[in-house]
A and B are shown apart, each in its own frame.
Chain A
Amino acid sequence: MSRRDNPLIQLTLVRFREFLREPEALFWVFVFPLVLAAGLGIAFRNRPPDVVKIGAVGAPLTKSLAAEKLLDVTQYSLPEGEQALRTGKIALLAESSPQGQIAYHYDETNPDGRTARMLADSAVQRAAGRADPVASSDRLVREPGSRYIDFLIPGLLGMNLMGSGIWGLVFTIADARRKKLMKRLVATPMPRSYYLLSFLLSRLGFLVVEVFVLAGFGVFFFHVPMRGSWVGLFLLCIVGSVSFSGIGLLIASRVRTIEAASGLTNLVMMPMWVVSGVFFSASRFPDSVQPIIKALPLTALIDGLRAYMLQGEPLAHLAVEMAILCGWLAVCFTLALKIFRWR
């Protein structure tokens, strides 16, 4: 008699295999959120300050103008420069007369032209040794953590954990029921708790990848801040993900068809996509519905993720969010076990 495999490990392996061999699922869980994050991140990126293109006649003038970072200077001969100005290639053409006077050619109705005139003149004067009577310096406010991409990444992460947590479980269980595979498994000595546990274990495995891919993408490509630790982030994501598995189990407890499964799943997830603050702040909704919105699991998870990643709140300060997630888990899981149909 051979040494037998561990049934929990086998069941968990099956979960992994079935998922990894489903290209569409892989796309929606791993690729789509990245594409979405990249697309939105680029569309709503904070633009670098505009650089105005100007032209100058003569090498010394060109050199002194180039000291101004907000100007992009090209050297021209006078006729070439005038041609470039007429065709809108440059906003201003600077030319110095043999007496050392500077003439600026530009259209004063064009804002770029006026800006260029001020920047160029100030650069020329400073190069000629003008001393400013009042000292000044710049403090730029483009701090990571307040940009749209910073807001978006925790939102997408929460949405993704909800989607894969609920849908992965509901689909597999509904499919197993429809194919009578669940009945067949129940006809073996398989411990039923192992069947459910295998979903949890595989979820935790995929979660590590999901969080790492999406949060890592934000942190490394868009420099989204990670003011908490990665371990803490995973902990928060695990609590959220397990909570969504509980909700998924409740949805899946009786459904027999894929249609019913997808209908119910969308009914549960769609409202949260809209109100839980994935793409824009949930505080935009009226005050009267705020208590309801705050009690939703996705809101709790996303709020927690944002506070943890962007503001660096310690996990202990996220007790309310954690409690909401655990509450959903306890209620859904208990109810699901009561009404679960094992065939």
Chain B
Amino acid sequence: MSPVSNSTPALRLRNLRKTYKDVVAVDGMDLEVRRGECFGLLGPNGAGKTTTIEICEGLTAADAGEVELLGMRWETDEKALRQKLGIQLQETQLSDKLTVNETVRLFASFFHQGPSVHEVIAQAQLTEKRNARVGGLSGGQKQRLALGCALVGDPELLFLDEPTTGLDPQARRQLWDLIEEFKAGGRTILLTTHYMDEAERLCDRVAIMDHGRVIALATPRELIASIGIEHIVEFSVSGSAFDAGALHVIEGVRGVRHDNGSVQLQVTELHRAVPAVLEELTRSGVMLTELRTHSATLEDVFVTLTGRRLRDE
């Protein structure tokens, strides 16, 4: 195998396209993932994240475009690439009848190198469960096992497709810890998610995807700064005749969204805006039933860019 200089990017996509019948799943993607970074594809369901990542993994054929991984290509270097990639698919059910140990051992047998089965199981924090059947594991444990199976070959590049979807908050945090541990080893990760908090916590850089395209790409901090909003103020009022339009004129308020008695303000200076808003509410004689503020997140970036939310529940 040719030694690949570390200056080549871990992953490079050029003008990638994929159409299913009448759906354009990936619509001209260009992307470069650097060595050693954790790169996130963030977007709502149907944005084309899975299609993109599976093209990178050599599991789906693109209609057009180029994919280069670790300086290699699928057409010529499939065998070498398979040894160097760690892959977790969005929805694999591992065999219920096998134990954790048997499952990891099976996956490990396909790779020339990598940590021992024992080490992988310890890394996935499943040592206590190593002789338990996969069918009896909790959702979080199954997902950690799937991650373990992706790590058996000590991959240079790790693909994670929605690693924490459907898990409870505690199981998600546990998985994040494992991913961060792997990241600390200096390896490259490409992960997809539709959770903004996951992208913010794990990713060095994030590409926001919508309708098969990248609509913004930067570090989470830069993305949030780019919308020029620092805080979000949300409140609900009772009493029907409330004119949210009046809030526009308040100093520091950049945007107002109003639906069904719930109002969302995009604000730059919290300490000036909030008292002014409260004053305005008192003046209009409406009852405040709820008030919340939070710092702007990637979710707010997505809302600002598309007018829609990441998750539609």
Given contacts A7-B109, A189-B111, contact A17 B97 (CB under 8 A): yes
Residue of A nearest to B81 (CB): A189
Residues of A within 8 A of B57 (CB): 187
Cα-based distance from A180 to B117 in the complex (angstroms): 23
**A195-218 with Cβ < 8 A to chain B:** none
Given contacts A17-B98, A18-B98, A189-B79, contact A11 B93 (CB under 8 A): no
Q: Is B172 an interface residue (CB 8 A)?
A: no
Q: Is B94 an interface residue (CB 8 A)?
A: yes
Cα-based distance from A18 to B107 in the complex (angstroms): 16
Q: Are B92 and A180 closer than 8 Å at their CB atoms?
A: yes
Q: Is B306 an interface residue (CB 8 A)?
A: no
Given contacts A17-B97, A18-B97, A188-B82, contact A4 B112 (CB under 8 A): yes
Q: Are A181 and B97 closer than 8 Å at their CB atoms?
A: no
Residue of A nearest to B90 (CB): A180
Cα-based distance from A187 to B108 in the complex (angstroms): 13
Residues of A within 8 A of B199 (CB): none
Q: Are B108 and A4 closer than 8 Å at their CB atoms?
A: yes
Residue of B nearest to A5 (CB): B109
Neighbour of B59 across the interface among A9, A18, A181, A183, CB < 8 A: A183
Q: Is B102 an interface residue (CB 8 A)?
A: yes
Given contacts A2-B116, A180-B89, A181-B92, contact A188 B110 (CB under 8 A): yes
Q: Are A180 and B95 closer than 8 Å at their CB atoms?
A: no
Interface string of B84-119 (1 = CB under 8 A from A): 010101011111011000100111111111101100
Residue of A nearest to B154 (CB): A1
| Interface residue tally for chain B (C-beta within 8 Å) | 31
Neighbour of A187 across the interface among B89, B97, B102, B111, CB < 8 A: B89
Write the nearest CB–CB distance from B226 to chain A, whole angstroms: 35
Cα-based distance from A21 to B107 in the complex (angstroms): 20
Q: Is B174 an interface residue (CB 8 A)?
A: no
Neighbour of A179 across the interface among B92, B106, B114, B116, CB < 8 A: B92
Residue of B nearest to A8 (CB): B109
Residues of A within 8 A of B94 (CB): 179, 181, 184
Q: Is B219 an interface residue (CB 8 A)?
A: no
Write the nearest CB–CB distance from A220 to chain B, whole angstroms: 33
Neighbour of B92 across the interface among A7, A11, A183, A189, CB < 8 A: A183
- Counting contact residues on chain A (CB < 8 A from B), the size range is 20 to 34
Chain B at the A interface: SS class: loop
Q: Is A256 an interface residue (CB 8 A)?
A: no
Given contacts A187-B87, A188-B82, contact A21 B110 (CB under 8 A): no
Residues of B within 8 A of A187 (CB): 57-59, 82, 85, 87, 89
Cα-based distance from A14 to B109 in the complex (angstroms): 12
Residue of B nearest to A176 (CB): B95
Cα-based distance from A22 to B135 in the complex (angstroms): 13
Residues of A within 8 A of B110 (CB): 7, 188-190
Residues of A within 8 A of B89 (CB): 180, 183-184, 187
Write the nearest CB–CB distance from B83 to chain A, whole angstroms: 5
Residue of B nearest to A21 (CB): B97
Write the nearest CB–CB distance from A4 to chain B, whole angstroms: 6
Q: Are B111 and A188 closer than 8 Å at their CB atoms?
A: yes
Residues of A within 8 A of B92 (CB): 179-181, 183-184
Q: Are A181 and B93 closer than 8 Å at their CB atoms?
A: yes
Write the nearest CB–CB distance from A234 to chain B, whole angstroms: 28
Residues of A within 8 A of B87 (CB): 184, 187-188
Given contacts A18-B98, A187-B59, contact A5 B105 (CB under 8 A): yes
Residues of B within 8 A of A10 (CB): 105-106, 109
**A127-185 with Cβ < 8 A to chain B:** 179-181, 183-184
Q: Is A186 an interface residue (CB 8 A)?
A: yes
Neighbour of A189 across the interface among B59, B83, B93, B117, CB < 8 A: B83
Cα-based distance from A1 to B108 in the complex (angstroms): 12
Q: Are A4 and B97 closer than 8 Å at their CB atoms?
A: no
Q: Are A6 and B109 closer than 8 Å at their CB atoms?
A: yes
Residue of B nearest to A343 (CB): B59
Write the nearest CB–CB distance from B172 to chain A, whole angstroms: 21
Residue of B nearest to A178 (CB): B93
Write the nearest CB–CB distance from B130 to chain A, whole angstroms: 15
Cα-based distance from A156 to B104 in the complex (angstroms): 39
Residues of B within 8 A of A17 (CB): 97-98, 102
A-B contact pairs, 30 of them (CB 8 A): A4-B108, A4-B109, A5-B108, A7-B109, A7-B110, A11-B109, A13-B102, A14-B95, A14-B98, A14-B102, A17-B98, A18-B98, A21-B97, A179-B92, A179-B94, A180-B91, A181-B92, A181-B93, A181-B94, A183-B59, A183-B89, A184-B89, A186-B59, A187-B87, A188-B87, A188-B111, A188-B153, A189-B82, A189-B110, A190-B110
Interface residues of A (CB under 8 A from B): 1-2, 4-7, 9-11, 13-14, 17-18, 21-22, 179-181, 183-184, 186-190, 343
Interface residues of B (CB under 8 A from A): 57-59, 79, 82-83, 85, 87, 89, 91-95, 97-98, 102, 105-114, 116-117, 149, 153
Closest 7 CB pairs of A and B: A179-B93, A189-B82, A5-B109, A7-B109, A10-B109, A184-B92, A21-B97
> With A1-B113, A183-B59, A187-B82 given, can you name 11 additional A-B contacts, CB distance below 8 Å?
A6-B109, A10-B105, A10-B106, A14-B98, A22-B97, A179-B94, A180-B93, A183-B89, A183-B92, A184-B149, A187-B85
